[in-house]
Amino acid sequence: MKPQPTTARRLLAYALVYKYRILGSLLVLCCAVGAELGGPFIIKTIIDKHLTPDTGNLAPVFTLLAIYIGLLLIAGVSNFTQSYTLQSTALQIIKNMRMDLMRHIQRIPLRYFDNTPIGQVVSRIANDTEAIRDLFMSFMATFIVSFIQLAGIFVALFILDARLASYVLVLPPLFAIIMYVHLKYSKKYIAVMRARLSDMNAMINESIVVMPIIQAFRREKVTLEEFGVLNEDRYVNQVKQFRVFSLSSRNIVGTIGSLVTAYVIWYFGNQSLLEASISFGVFYAFIDYLGRIFNPIIGIFDQLTNAQRAFVSAEKVFVILDLEGKEVEEADKVKRPEGIVKFDDVTFAYNDGDNVLKGINFEARKGETVALVGHTGSGKSSIINLLLGFYEPGSGSITVDGTDIRTISKQALRKHMGIVLQDPYLFAGDIKFNVSLYNKDISLEQVKKALSDVGASAFIEQLPNGYDEQVVERGSTLSSGQRQLISFARALAFDPSILILDEATASIDSETEGLIQQALKVVSEGRTTLIIAHRLSTIRDANQILVLHRGEIVERGNHDQLMALGGRYFKMYQLQKGEKASLPV
């Protein structure tokens, strides 16, 4: 694998997209700094040349004051312009980064999400990108501004008094050492803080999703204690980091600033005021510029924490962006397949060396219904995951119409597939949207027909807003059976060549199941249908039933053939009918 650029270089690459806007704002910034630094020189001139006792003409004074006010106005307008430009550029950069991250997440294989808590992924997109925004804002709006201001101040100091200005040159290296120590000791605390924030987000997400289980098993106190441990660890590290910041930022800068200012006053008082070798104007200007040195330094210190937090967050974001993904390709012009599905000696493992499928062979032809049955963990869902291209088989091949699906883009593969899951998921939006998913090729009439075919139109038309009824939080206001019917209609509205039902009737009542069975007889006509079922009564009419056990097909045939065989399927059917039977191990 090609080594990735450093985090700093990758952040710089995002900034360079807007290099002309940034350079333009920096030119405006230079105008602002120049206007600000010109003020003390004007006041110095007024003090030295126009405020002596023998001066009677004040016209030059008013002229200089007018110039001074003009410089202040220029500085104000320039500061606003550069600040607005840099801040808006920073927001644009983060918008692009967030879109890149979201776009890449769509390309990452599902295997990554199997091992990563959802809350952590959400934290990367929401929290970590916001922290990076602070970096661009603080770096461009504070660091660069501060360095330009410092450069201008030192130029002014050397113009006023080169000897004393040379003494002040010791300040930048001194503050650089202090910054290095600050960064060294605070980075580890910030890394822990960001990690704990990610863990807390993951736990909050999980707790909300499974809140009924937490309350049913009275785990509220235990969950709160687990969250408290994470929260306390983040608090402790946050306090330690703040302690480092307090000691090394305004505190030490202010102390050094006061000592340097006292030395300058002593220097001028001892050598200049008594000997009258340096004017009062120079004295005023030098003290004014010296006081301005410490504001940029303090600004840099104040932003160091944000910068470190942003770098830690950027590293986590780039870890996701570095994951190998596959491009989301267009599939608009994909020819509709016949739907002939064939598994040829397929072996698959989620973890190396632990095969969950072993030598799977079967073929489902157009218009046929193939049912997969077996106990939990026998490999039924794994077959569906492979067919949908969520995972790649370890060996063997899976073909659709004779074409290996590994040679087909995932979007083209799934374009003519419809799937209904055991736990139906409804999106936030109205009912008609949950069926069409904003597909322009699916009209409202087609949506209504699909809902009617699965028997859902009866209860939908009784809702206050009918097909415009809003679905909230995964459809929690609807019953499980109603949600399942809508998800059936969604699959049917897309008119798939291959229809996949993954335990689709497991969570509905017998009456609703009867409606779906009747609808399926109509919609499966001319389609290849694969059904995962625990309720064996729902697959009696299947053309082929595959009985899986420990990742292998141990029996195959239709219902009557398998019942006559008297094997594992027969035992499972007897158990569900309530008759005494025992399954072979």
Instruction: Give pLDDT, residue 548.
Output: 93
Structure token pair of residue 72: 């202040």
DSSP string, 503-550: STTTTS-HHHHHHHHHHHHHHTTTSEEEEE-S-GGGGTT-SEEEEEET
Contact 501, 510 (CB under 8 A): no
Q: What are the backbone dihedrals phi and psi of residue 352, each rounded to the nearest 5 degrees, phi first? A: -55, 130
Instruction: Give pLDDT, residue 61.
Output: 66
Residue listed under structure tokens 């930022």:
249
User: What stretch(es) of the chain map to CATH 1.20.1560.10?
Assistant: 7-321
Structure token pair of residue 9: 């270089």
CATH topology of domain 341-576: Rossmann fold (3.40.50)
Instruction: Give pLDDT, residue 1.
Output: 42
Distance CA 361, CA 223 (A): 46
CATH topology of domain 7-321: ABC transporter transmembrane region fold (1.20.1560)
CA distances from 410 to 109, 334, 436, 495, 514 (A): 11, 12, 20, 18, 34
Contact 197, 205 (CB under 8 A): no
Kindly state the helix (H) or strand (E) to which residue 388 belongs, with its residue range. Answer: none
Contact 422, 503 (CB under 8 A): yes
Contacts of 119 (CB under 8 A, 6+ apart): 198, 200, 201, 202, 203, 204, 205, 206
Instruction: Give pLDDT, residue 269.
Output: 64
User: What stretch(es) of the chain map to CATH 3.40.50.300?
Assistant: 341-576
Instruction: Give pLDDT, residue 46.
Output: 62
Instruction: Give pLDDT, residue 553.
Output: 93
Please give the chain's pLDDT, 585 residues, in tens. Answer: 444 567 778 887 887 787 777 778 777 777 777 766 666 666 666 666 655 555 556 666 677 677 777 777 877 787 788 778 878 888 888 888 888 888 888 888 777 777 777 777 887 888 788 888 877 776 666 777 777 778 878 887 787 778 777 878 888 888 888 888 877 778 788 888 888 887 888 888 778 877 877 887 788 888 888 889 999 998 998 888 888 877 766 677 777 877 877 777 777 666 555 555 566 667 777 777 777 787 788 777 777 777 777 888 888 888 888 888 776 666 566 688 888 999 999 999 988 778 899 999 999 998 899 999 988 888 898 999 899 888 889 899 999 998 999 888 888 888 888 888 777 778 878 888 888 887 888 888 888 888 888 778 888 888 888 888 888 766 667 877 788 788 888 888 888 889 888 876 655 666 666 766 766 676 677 789 999 888 787 788 889 999 999 999 999 999 999 999 989 999 988 887 765 445 554
Contact 369, 531 (CB under 8 A): yes
